Structure 1
């Protein structure tokens, strides 16, 4: 190259380069070429090293924030984007909407809370009953900590993996559209048995029109598919109580399973990087209903919490007045109150924080009356119950016990008003839909049991205790009626009756634990028979993981009571048993005119509890001296609470890396 300094600076080492031509000199390539750029395929493997270096720099104590900002050139920003996308592809939120359930065990905690509440205060029971209470507590604690190993053995998933039903995803066929269209009718007495949901008929028609024209693509396509398939599932759920032909119902069942599979396929495709929109909210609420319908309440809570966040982002929770039906904002309104219902109900069930702030208007007022929708009065009641559950979560946060009790009194007054509405609307509803109101009665009394049980923690009253036991009976009697009349409720027995998903799956099991304590405390044979009937009705569905684990709990608690029941039967029906209820003062009840059954748990009964521990040596050596604090044990059992998630199946735990297509 020439010694001309101008040329040396300007030459860019290309043949006849523009810089040399401009200054009129011949271009001479005397410097070596730069090495060629590595192939594109070698670029991505460097990202891990680069990402590691960037992470190390950002977390180093000596790293300057200003320096980090100065170094962020265009290439650095591009690397950050690629790194973020790579990480996003590994996140469970990138290609699916559900994550693996956590290991919390709220039902076990609930059972322990119920039982603990029965066991604090006095020492009125004999050693045999103390042993049974301790055995029950140990068993519940083992379930809470996941130490009962045989709960998981030999149990198959109740929902088939979607790969076992379909090989690839398909958009909703026209037949679904025809099925979901509202049938035109002019009959004055026409009965609409479908539950109104968060998607109006007008909105459904718009979704269908978009899919028919092929105008949707990407995220909006999958959002519409989730909404339509879930709506079709709930539509088919009403068919078995209308059509009694077994062949027809088998075909309905096949279609329902197929729609579930397609809905789960579409659910995997939802991206949480998408901007909040009303269709996205609707698809998330539909997904929450799907999870609830399939018995996985923790996943339903997750789906609904995402919907709640988007509602807040779009300020839909700031609605100030209800709109009439067919209004363009009707779908915003219905999405808000259904999200509210799921948020309060599932948060109370799982003992988790609320996701949706309190709306500016009561969700009950957002449910606009419509005579063509016979379920709307019941839906308004469910919204009121959800409000009570949300308030009960914060009831104990008051500054004083007096204020806490005042809060409980207000909740009980509200429950009295709800009870009147429930009874009045049940009397006016068509007999065909009466089982839906009986399901509502189960929910009502289960919530009332929790309110009364919570009140007893702060101030014991024999009257409140008696009312709590009575409400537990009413709740379980409503459940037993539903079990005895499955054909009157919507849904399929696949793998268990669908009504279980909005009764014992969706609401606390406190009534079971309260009656169990009452059986031990007062040897009530009717309560024992009630729980026994419910347990036997669940036995045919033990193939379900949830039912199998639930049966394990109920049967074990029931077996703990067998020695007491057998002893009372041997003594005769006229024998008086020392009445028991927990005392906050610790005073022993008078027992001079009553009889305590005397028997041996280990050898004097036909039932030997395999998990009951031997009585502690210090208790055995006491002889006729003062008993240990039995009432403390009963309160422990009374206040026990089991986690729903220890019963749930694992099929919903979506993992993008799972290639078998199952949940």
Structure 2
């Protein structure tokens, strides 16, 4: 008897069961023996359709925990039940299903991670710490807010395979077989889009130069191989085509044409995600591999999937380090063979710093010896390049802020904060100067930059206040929070001026409130409770009402639930203030260095005129002096700790992320 037969017989006899040939006992059949045992047949393994390696799973487990199978099976029903309950409990969401956009389900992040919940919790805890001078009603409201966001921090983590699943839209295109980009896509990308007003290139600059694009197209046109380079190039081309089409709706106003653009965009998303499935993550580091990973990170970010965007970009960062591309010491001119290397480096740097600050995760890419801003090759034909430089500078600040509190003493920590504020003043000047020179057609892109700028500045000021309180710093923090949200409100009131589609929510949300911290919301909420500021209440209410039509998106639904709940806590106080009249003076909630109440007549009120949602102005906020103790001690009294406990709470965006992401729009159940 052969060795295989002996092993099969030993296995059957050791289990003391009889074989039954009709049940296809795998061991006996393989050994060529007559089956005599009865046991369930061995399940058939599904064919391997992806190269998702153990490396992917092990790295992802460093930041997430895998869920149980039972939880995964029941998660879809639970999510649908939760969505129905949300729509029943939030008043202005009750009619959301009547919206033309409510039939769509967003492809959002895979795990219910909790970075927005953690962010709000930090803000609120800082406000609440020891502020016993507040009346009982306000303390109760703040504690209720803290309890509410604390429950949202208990999110569910998932493994990477879960992150590559999704609930698909009913109107998603059906993909039966993956195909390479058709020639029409190549013609579209090789021809620069121009606005109706003139020859203005609207293509958003990315990590793939025009010369590199031509090389990729040449390979895809001639090559018959279905190897890794094929799939890597397909990811890059399809993602580039998506961002090309994003600019079309603000050029062409015909609804029929735009509907066709939307269909093509969805089709390109489907093919890009199918190509990404076939990318071998165990492949050797190469520049095309890095480029496809960065393209995948942009695609995840565009769909609102910030966790997966961070993961994809972290893979790219590791490959950049493996090839020592991060050691570039000097910039190269345009059309240089190394241009694509350095553009991949600074885009990876931007995503790494921005997403790590958003998700409160470690950085993946080491600091290059040269500033990433200096790696941008000048090109006057690309009007967005000045804004790209500003976004890179902001990303540098965000990365430095992550390590700002690691100094040896409070004096050095405050000095680090002062340096960051000085850099932000320079960035602000550049933002204003470049906006004045840009075409009015692109003005909304710079206003979105305002939202990002002030959201980051709020985080810097809030971080500083944790180490040394100053009433003036606090006032500036509140003023910057207003500026950030007023910029967002302007974008909401002028959708036709923004690039992108409403699919299933306005595209500009993916690079504003999805990509940057929501600290301005939480800071203004604390100010509403403390100062009973009706204008701040109205501002947040306007933003919330503008988001309501898109409540079918799981992310937007959770965000609305949070904002509505916080607003509802403020209603009794706002109504009481209105009954007392506008001249009623409310004692400020924030502490002063001397222990006396600050003079409210000197309160700085930022001037952001927005008339009927059609105008936007952004005057420079006067620089406020910082009150820093020589010995680095906290300057607020112990009785004021309660509010600061709430102020420093941190709610992260991960608490709004759903369980699945659409990597296969063609499948009915969302599985790969």
1:179 has 2:145 as partner: no
Distance in 1 (alpha carbons) for counterparts of 2:361 and 2:593: 29
* Cα shift readout 1:446-490 (whole Å, capped 9, x = no counterpart): 000000000000000000000000000000000000000011111
Q: Which of 249, 252, 271 in structure 1 is aligned with 2:280?
A: 271
1:342 has 2:351 as partner: yes
Pairing of 1:234-273 with structure 2 (within 5 A): 234-273=243-282
- Which residue of 2 is the match for residue 210 of structure 1? 219
- How far the C-alpha of 1:639 sits from its partner, in A, is 1.2
TM-score w.r.t. length of structure 1: 0.77
- How far the C-alpha of 1:643 sits from its partner, in A, is 2.2
Q: Is the 8 A contact 1:219 1:270 kept in 2?
A: yes
Q: Provide the secondary structure at the position in 1 that maps to 2:472.
A: helix
Distance in 1 (alpha carbons) for counterparts of 2:565 and 2:391: 32
- How far the C-alpha of 1:638 sits from its partner, in A, is 1.0
Q: Provide the secondary structure at the position in 1 that maps to 2:258.
A: helix
Q: Which of 402, 424, 432 in structure 2 is aligned with 1:423?
A: 432
Q: Is the 8 A contact 1:322 1:333 kept in 2?
A: yes
Moved more, 105-114 or 629-638: 629-638
- How far the C-alpha of 1:629 sits from its partner, in A, is 8.0
1:327 has 2:314 as partner: no
Distance in 2 (alpha carbons) for counterparts of 1:523 and 1:97: 44
Pairing of 1:147-166 with structure 2 (within 5 A): 159-160=168-169, 165-166=174-175
* Cα shift readout 1:83-121 (whole Å, capped 9, x = no counterpart): xx9998774849x99998555411111111111222234
- How far the C-alpha of 1:340 sits from its partner, in A, is 0.1
1:520 has 2:529 as partner: yes
- How far the C-alpha of 1:217 sits from its partner, in A, is 2.6
1:441 has 2:454 as partner: no
Q: Is the 8 A contact 2:358 2:517 kept in 1?
A: yes
- How far the C-alpha of 1:159 sits from its partner, in A, is 5.0
| Equivalent residue pairs, number | 544
Distance in 2 (alpha carbons) for counterparts of 1:37 and 1:392: 65
Q: Which of 637, 644, 654 in structure 2 is aligned with 1:635?
A: 644
Q: Is the 8 A contact 2:357 2:398 kept in 1?
A: yes
Q: Is the 8 A contact 2:120 2:519 kept in 1?
A: yes
Q: Is the 8 A contact 1:513 1:637 kept in 2?
A: no
* Cα shift readout 1:188-218 (whole Å, capped 9, x = no counterpart): 9621111110001111111111111125431
Pair 509,276 (structure 1): closer, same or farther in 2 beyond 3 Å? same
Structure 1 unaligned blocks of 5 or more? 1-34, 47-84, 148-155, 594-627
Pairing of 1:477-496 with structure 2 (within 5 A): 477-496=486-505
- How far the C-alpha of 1:582 sits from its partner, in A, is 3.7
1:503 has 2:512 as partner: yes
Q: Which of 387, 395, 420 in structure 2 is aligned with 1:378?
A: 387
Q: Provide the secondary structure at the position in 2 that maps to 1:483.
A: helix
Pair 383,42 (structure 1): closer, same or farther in 2 beyond 3 Å? farther
Pair 41,345 (structure 1): closer, same or farther in 2 beyond 3 Å? farther
Pairing of 1:27-66 with structure 2 (within 5 A): 35-36=1-2, 38=4
Q: Which structure has the larger Rg over C-alpha atoms?
A: 1
Distance in 2 (alpha carbons) for counterparts of 1:343 and 1:89: 22
Q: Is the 8 A contact 1:92 1:654 kept in 2?
A: no
- Which residue of 2 is the match for residue 392 of structure 1? 401
Q: Is the 8 A contact 1:133 1:637 kept in 2?
A: yes
Q: Which of 364, 368, 371 in structure 2 is aligned with 1:359?
A: 368
Pairing of 1:617-632 with structure 2 (within 5 A): 631-632=640-641
TM-score w.r.t. length of structure 2: 0.76
Q: Provide the secondary structure at the position in 2 that maps to 1:580.
A: coil
- How far the C-alpha of 1:42 sits from its partner, in A, is 7.7
- Which residue of 2 is the match for residue 225 of structure 1? 234
Pairing of 1:556-635 with structure 2 (within 5 A): 556-582=565-591, 587=595, 589=597, 631-635=640-644
Pair 227,146 (structure 1): closer, same or farther in 2 beyond 3 Å? closer
- How far the C-alpha of 1:314 sits from its partner, in A, is 0.4
Distance in 1 (alpha carbons) for counterparts of 2:560 and 2:197: 46
* Cα shift readout 1:413-469 (whole Å, capped 9, x = no counterpart): 000000000000000000000000000010000000000000000000000000000
Q: Is the 8 A contact 1:118 1:582 kept in 2?
A: no
Q: Is the 8 A contact 2:531 2:586 kept in 1?
A: yes
1:540 has 2:549 as partner: yes
Distance in 2 (alpha carbons) for counterparts of 1:40 and 1:503: 66
Pair 159,340 (structure 1): closer, same or farther in 2 beyond 3 Å? farther
Q: Which of 142, 145, 167 in structure 1 is aligned with 2:176?
A: 167
- Which residue of 1 is the match for residue 22 of structure 2? none
Pair 146,365 (structure 1): closer, same or farther in 2 beyond 3 Å? closer
* Cα shift readout 1:210-250 (whole Å, capped 9, x = no counterpart): 11112543111110110001001000000000001111111
Q: Which of 133, 141, 146 in structure 1 is aligned with 2:142?
A: 133
Distance in 2 (alpha carbons) for counterparts of 1:416 and 1:131: 38
- Which residue of 1 is the match for residue 310 of structure 2? 301
Q: Is the 8 A contact 2:455 2:484 kept in 1?
A: yes
Q: Is the 8 A contact 2:354 2:516 kept in 1?
A: yes
* Cα shift readout 1:586-643 (whole Å, capped 9, x = no counterpart): x57499x9xxxxxxxxxxxxxxxxxxxxxxxxxxxxxxxxxx9873332122112112
- How far the C-alpha of 1:158 sits from its partner, in A, is 7.2
Q: Provide the secondary structure at the position in 2 that maps to 1:118.
A: helix
- Which residue of 1 is the match for residue 106 of structure 2? none
Distance in 1 (alpha carbons) for counterparts of 2:7 and 2:325: 46
Q: Compute the RMSD of aligned alpha carbons.
A: 3.3
- Which residue of 2 is the match for residue 152 of structure 1? none
Pair 40,540 (structure 1): closer, same or farther in 2 beyond 3 Å? farther
Structure 2 unaligned blocks of 5 or more? 13-47, 67-109, 157-164, 602-636
- How far the C-alpha of 1:321 sits from its partner, in A, is 0.7
- Which residue of 2 is the match for residue 414 of structure 1? 423
- How far the C-alpha of 1:161 sits from its partner, in A, is 8.5
- Which residue of 2 is the match for residue 21 of structure 1? none
Distance in 1 (alpha carbons) for counterparts of 2:525 and 2:663: 37
Moved more, 430-439 or 207-216: 207-216
Q: Provide the secondary structure at the position in 1 that maps to 2:357.
A: helix
Pairing of 1:649-660 with structure 2 (within 5 A): 649-652=658-661, 660=669
Pair 86,37 (structure 1): closer, same or farther in 2 beyond 3 Å? farther
Q: Is the 8 A contact 1:120 1:582 kept in 2?
A: no
Q: Provide the secondary structure at the position in 2 that maps to 1:190.
A: strand
Q: Provide the secondary structure at the position in 2 that maps to 1:191.
A: strand
Pair 647,342 (structure 1): closer, same or farther in 2 beyond 3 Å? same
Q: Is the 8 A contact 1:93 1:271 kept in 2?
A: no
Q: Which of 482, 488, 506 in structure 2 is aligned with 1:473?
A: 482
* Cα shift readout 1:162-198 (whole Å, capped 9, x = no counterpart): 986212211111111111013499x996211111100
